[in-house]
Amino acid sequence: MIRLENVSKTYRGASAIALADIDLEIDRGEFVFLVGSSGSGKSTLLRLMLREEKADSGNVFVLGENLRSLPPRRVSSYRRKLGVVFQDFRLLPNKTVYQNIAYALQVIGKSRAFIETSIPDVLRLVGLEGKSRSYPSVLSGGEQQRIAIARALVNRPELLLADEPTGNLDPDNSKEIMGLLSRINQSGTTIVMATHDRGVVDQMQRRVVEIREGRITRDAQTASYREAPSGPIVISENQG
C-alpha cells in the first residue's frame, strides 16, 4: 500500500535535513503510528504521502502511484483516493455539518444522489447522525474532529492519513476519536497517524514507527510510545 525507498527531503532554505534515507513499508489494513518530537520529520512524511511535498531523492509509492514522478495534473485524482484529517479539523465555520461534508464531494463533482445517500451513512459511522444541521462552532472538539473524519471517509478511501488528530482534544475526546479510528481500521481502511500523544499510542498497542531528526530510529509491531527503557530512566522527561 505504501512503500518508501531511500527517501530524503530537505526544505528549501532550511539547514537541517527533514528526512534522511527513509525506508518504510506499510501494508493494506495496517494501523501505523508515526511518533517523534516536533520537527522530527513525521509531518513531512505525511506531506510526502499526500503529495503536498516531493521527495528530493528516493521513491514514494502510495496506492500504486509513484509520487515522485506523478505529474501535477494527476495529483488531484490521486488525492481523491485517500482521506486526511488534521489537528485543527479544517472545517468551514459558515457551513453545517452536512454542508461541510457535502462540500468535499461537490468540489470533486459527485452527483447529488451520491451525496444524499453517502452523507447519512458516514454520519452514522462517526456517531453524528443527529447533528447534521448543527454548525461546527456549537460542537465539542471531539465532535468537530468526527466531522473532519466523516469528510475524509465519505469518498470511501483505502488510506486515511491523520496528522495529530487528537492534538487539540482532551483525554476523553481523544479516546473517543481513537475508538472511532480503530473501528474504521477494522473495516479495512489503512491508517497512518502522526502523533506525540503518548496516551493514545500506549492504549492502542499498534505498530509504531519512531522518527528522530529525519531518520527512523524504531519500527516495532504492537508497541508503546517509548521502548522499555534499558538505560537509566530520565526523570525530568515527565516534568513540565
Give the nearest distance from C-beta 54 to another protein in angstroms. Answer: 12
- Could you say whether residue 217 binds another protein (CB under 8 A)? no
Binder of another protein out of 80, 156, 183, 198 (CB under 8 A): 80
DSSP 91-160: --TTS-HHHHHHHHHHTTT--HHHHHHHHHHHHHHHT-GGGTTS-GGGS-HHHHHHHHHHHHHTT--SEE
Asked if 106 touches another protein (CB under 8 A), the answer is yes
User: How many amino acids of this chain bind another protein (CB under 8 A)?
Assistant: 23
Among 9, 146, 151, 207, which residue sits at the site for another protein (rule: CB under 8 A)? 151
Nearest CB to another protein, comparing residues 112 and 198? 112
The residues pairing with 24 across neighbouring beta strands, listed in sequence order, are 4
Grid cell listed for 47 = 506531506
User: 95-98: long-range contacts at Cβ-Cβ below 8 A with a sequence spacing of 24 or more?
Assistant: 95/135, 96/132, 96/133, 96/134, 96/135, 97/123, 97/128, 97/131, 97/132, 97/133, 97/134, 97/135, 97/136, 97/139, 97/147, 97/150, 98/123, 98/132, 98/133
Cβ pair 122, 153 in contact under 8 A: yes
User: Exactly one of 1, 10, 63, 79 binds another protein (CB under 8 A); which one?
Assistant: 79
When binding is defined by CB under 8 A, the residue of 61, 78, 135, 225 that contacts another protein is 78
Q: Residue 153 or residue 209: which is nearer to another protein going by CB? A: 153
Cα angle value 180/75/148 (rounded, 5°): 25
Give dist(CA 36, CA 50) in Å, integer.
19
How large is the angle between the packed helices 141-153 and 112-126, nearest 10 degrees? 140
Please report whether residue 155 would count as binding another protein according to CB under 8 A.
yes
Q: Which is nearer to another protein, 95 or 212 (CB)?
A: 95
Q: Which of residues 30-49 bind another protein (CB under 8 A)?
A: none
Of residues 165 through 194, those in contact with another protein by CB under 8 A are none
In the bound complex, what is the minimum distance in angstroms from residue 176's beta carbon to another protein?
A: 23
One residue of 54, 90, 124, 183 binding another protein per CB under 8 A: 90
| Share of the chain residues as helix, strand and coil, in percent rounded to the nearest 5 | 35, 25, 40
Choice from 76, 186, 205, 217 touching another protein (CB under 8 A): 76
Options 108, 117, 170, 171; binder of another protein; rule CB under 8 A? 108
* Beta carbon nearer to another protein, 109 or 130: 109
Q: Which of residues 54-73 bind another protein (CB under 8 A)?
A: 72-73
- Binding residues for another protein, per CB under 8 A? 50, 72-73, 75-81, 84, 90, 92, 103-109, 112, 151, 155
